[in-house]
Structure 1
C-alpha cells in the first residue's frame, strides 16, 4: 500500500502523537509499504531533519488552529496517488482539510484522535469545552462521521470518546501503538544521564518524564513524594520534560512549599542517551495522570525493564495491571501516595521480578513491529485490500 500521514506538527515537545506517527512511519515502511508524511511545521523546523517519511512541510500555518489553504490544495492534487490518508489529531485545520480533499477525490481517510475526546477536559476546562462543543457541531463531528474509520489505541479510549460530544457517529477501530526497543548500550546511557546530573549517583530515583501539563498530575506526585520521602533518605524525584504554560514554575513552587525542593531535580526535556539513561538509572517510573490516552513514555519505561506506577486514568492501565508490570491507583493524592508506599514496601525480590515482567509486558503489547502489523491489517481490511496486509 501507499499511505499518506498528515499532522499539525512533528515537534517532539508536543509528546506522544508525534512519536506515534514517527514510529508508525518507520515500522510500516519496514513491512514493505510506502509512507509519506505531510506536516504544518515550517520547512526550516530543525526536528524535520530527524524523522522518517520525507516530510513535506506546509507551515508556518496561521495561528494555533493551523490554517493552511495550500495544504488542502496539495491534498486535492496528490491524495489520489495514495491508497489511504491517515490524519493525526482533531480541533485543528488538518482534519478538516483531509476530509474535504478526500471527499472530493474519493480517497478513504482514517482519523487518529490521540485522546482528544477524553471527558476530563470538560471537567477541567468547561469554558473551552463549550467552545469546542460549538466547533464540534459545526465541523468536527463530520470529520469523524465521514472517516473510513476513527482510530483508537485501546478500548478505554474508545469508550471515553463516545461520552464527550454530541452528535457522535463513527466507524471505530482499535489499533495498537508501539515503539522500537531502545538501541545503545544501557550502561553507557545510564552514565550519560548521571554525568549530566552527578548529584543523583547513589540516589534511588523516581522518574516522571513527559510534558509538564496540569493533566499529567505531577502535583499529586509531588505531594505524595513529600509524604513518603522520609522513609528513605536516598529517595529522589526527577521531573523531566518540556514546560507548558508555566506549569513547571507552579510545580517548583509547590515542591518548595512542602519542603522537598532539595530532593527534586528538574531536567527539562531529555533526548537521546540522556533520556534513555534516565530510565536506566531510575528505580521506578511514575505517571499519576488525570487523563492519558496511551502514554508513549510508559512503553519506553517498560522497554527498559522499568516498573511503572500509574493512575487508573492512563488508558492502558489494564495491560500494566494484568501483566504485573507495575502498580495502579486512582488519580488522587491518596492514590499517588499509595502508589509510592506500595512500591517502597515491596521486597527486593518482588521489585526485581516486576522489572522482568515490565520487559515481557512491552514485548507482548507495545513492540513496534507487532503494532505496525495490526495497524496495516486494519487499514487494508477497511479499504478492501486485505491481500496488502
Structure 2
C-alpha cells in the first residue's frame, strides 16, 4: 500500500503534529506500507531532508492559512501513485486543499480508482478551541472556515482518524453539520526511546546546569497558556514557601520569547529554583526525561501529549490534568487532577506526599502503561487496518 501524508509543516519546533508523523511513518513502513510526506515548507528549510523517508517540501506557504500554491498541481501530477492520502491537522490549506485536489483528480480520471482520502485532526476538533476566552476571534473564524472549506473535507472524507476515544467523542461537539462517513479510533504511538546512555545526563546538565545532580520535576512542552505553564509555576512557588527541600522545577520548551513565556519567567525570581533551559533536543532531551523525578503537564487541552508518552516510555511517572485526552490510560503510571490553580497545587502536593516506595511503584507502572497502550507498532497496525477498510467503525 502506498500512503501519502499531507501536513502543513514538518518543522519540529511547531509541536507534536510533525513528531506524530515522524513516529508513525517508520512503523507503517515496517509493516510493508510505502510512505511519502508532502508539506508546505520551503525546500530550503534546515529540517527538510533529514528524515529517513521521502519528504516533498513544496512551499513556502503564504499567510495565516498556510496557502500553498503548489499543492494542487503537485497532487494532480502524483496522486495516481498512491492508494491512500491522509491529511494531518485542520484549519490550514493542507486539509481542505488536499480534499479538493483528490476530488478533481477523480473527475479528471473517471473509470480509474482515486486514492482513498482520510482526515486525521490530531485534536483540532476539540471544543476547547471554540470556548477558550482568548480565542474568540479565532473561534468565529473557525466557524466560517468550517462552513466554507473544512466541513466539506471532514464530511466528505472516506473516514476521520482519531488518536483516542476521548478525541472522537469531543469532535462531535463544536461544529455543524458534522456527518463524517466513518469515525475511526486508530490510536497513536511513539517509538521506544533510545536506551539511557552515559552522555545523556551530561548533555542535559550542559543545557540546564542549575539542577545537575539534584532531583527535579520536568515540564517539557511549548510555553503556551494552553499548556498550563502558569498554573504549574504558581503552584510550585506556593509550595516552596512551606516545603523545604523540594525538587527543582525545570520548564523546558520553545516559547521563551512569547508573551506567555516572558510572563511565566517573570513569576520566578532568582533563587526560586525554577529553570528555563529552552527547547531540548537529542541527548539533552532524553537526559532530562530519564533524570527527572516526574513529568508534569497541567494542560487545559491536550489531544494526546507525545511528551507525556515519551516520559512513560522512559519509566518516569506523569503528573497530568484531566484535560489530557489519554489521562485514563496514563493514570496508573502517575497522578491526575483538574486543570485549575487548586487542581495543579493538589497534583504537586499529592506527588510530594507519596512515600519513596509509592513513587517508585508509579515509575514501575509507567513503562507498562506505555507498552500496553502507546507502543508505535500497535498503533501503526490499527491505522493500516483502518485505511485498508478493515477497522471497525466507532459508534460510542
CA distance in 1, matches of 2:141, 2:10: 26
Taking structure 2 as the reference length, what is the TM-score of the superposition? 0.92
From 236, 257, 275, the equivalent of 2:285 is: 275
From 245, 249, 257, the equivalent of 2:262 is: 249
How far has the Cα of 1:45 moved from its partner?
A: 0.9
Taking structure 1 as the reference length, what is the TM-score of the superposition? 0.94
From 122, 144, 147, the equivalent of 1:134 is: 144
Tell me the secondary structure at the aligned position of residue 46 of structure 1.
Answer: coil
Gaps of 5+ in 2: 107-113
Pair 1:326-2:329 in alignment: no
Counterpart in 2 of 1:235? 247
Segment of structure 1 superposing worse, 187-196 or 40-49: 187-196
> How many correspondences in the alignment?
379
Pair 1:218-2:226 in alignment: no
Answer whether contact 2:210 2:275 (CA < 8 A) is retained. Answer: no
Structure with bigger helix share is: 1
CA distance in 2, matches of 1:6, 1:123: 28
How far has the Cα of 1:188 moved from its partner?
A: 2.8
Pair 1:21-2:21 in alignment: yes
Answer whether contact 2:229 2:264 (CA < 8 A) is retained. Answer: yes
From 126, 142, 150, the equivalent of 1:118 is: 126
Counterpart in 2 of 1:387? none
CA distance in 2, matches of 1:269, 1:299: 18
Counterpart in 2 of 1:189? 200
Counterpart in 1 of 2:189? 178
Counterpart in 1 of 2:111? none
Q: 1:261 to 1:288 in 2, by over 3 A?
A: farther
Pair 1:204-2:200 in alignment: no
Answer whether contact 2:192 2:313 (CA < 8 A) is retained. Answer: yes
Instruction: Give me the CA root mean square deviation.
Output: 1.6
Tell me the secondary structure at the aligned position of residue 37 of structure 1.
Answer: strand
Deviation track 1:278-328 (CA, whole Å, cap 9, x = no partner) reads: 01111100000000000000110001100000000000001012xx10100
1:298-313 pair list within 5 angstroms: 298-313=308-323
Answer whether contact 2:13 2:254 (CA < 8 A) is retained. Answer: yes
Pair 1:156-2:169 in alignment: no
Counterpart in 2 of 1:344? 352
CA distance in 2, matches of 1:151, 1:22: 17
CA distance in 2, matches of 1:14, 1:277: 22
Answer whether contact 1:8 1:41 (CA < 8 A) is retained. Answer: yes
CA distance in 1, matches of 2:13, 2:64: 15
CA distance in 1, matches of 2:348, 2:197: 25
Deviation track 1:59-110 (CA, whole Å, cap 9, x = no partner) reads: 1011121112211111112112111001111111111221112112232111
Tell me the secondary structure at the aligned position of residue 262 of structure 1.
Answer: coil
Answer whether contact 2:196 2:290 (CA < 8 A) is retained. Answer: no
Deviation track 1:97-139 (CA, whole Å, cap 9, x = no partner) reads: 2111211223211111011111112222122101111111111
Q: 1:11 to 1:317 in 2, by over 3 A?
A: same
Segment of structure 1 superposing worse, 261-270 or 301-310: 261-270
How far has the Cα of 1:375 moved from its partner?
A: 1.0
Counterpart in 2 of 1:109? 117
CA distance in 2, matches of 1:232, 1:294: 34
How far has the Cα of 1:336 moved from its partner?
A: 0.4
Deviation track 1:216-261 (CA, whole Å, cap 9, x = no partner) reads: 01111011101222414242110111107422101111224xxx76
Gaps of 5+ in 1: 385-389
Answer whether contact 2:226 2:301 (CA < 8 A) is retained. Answer: yes
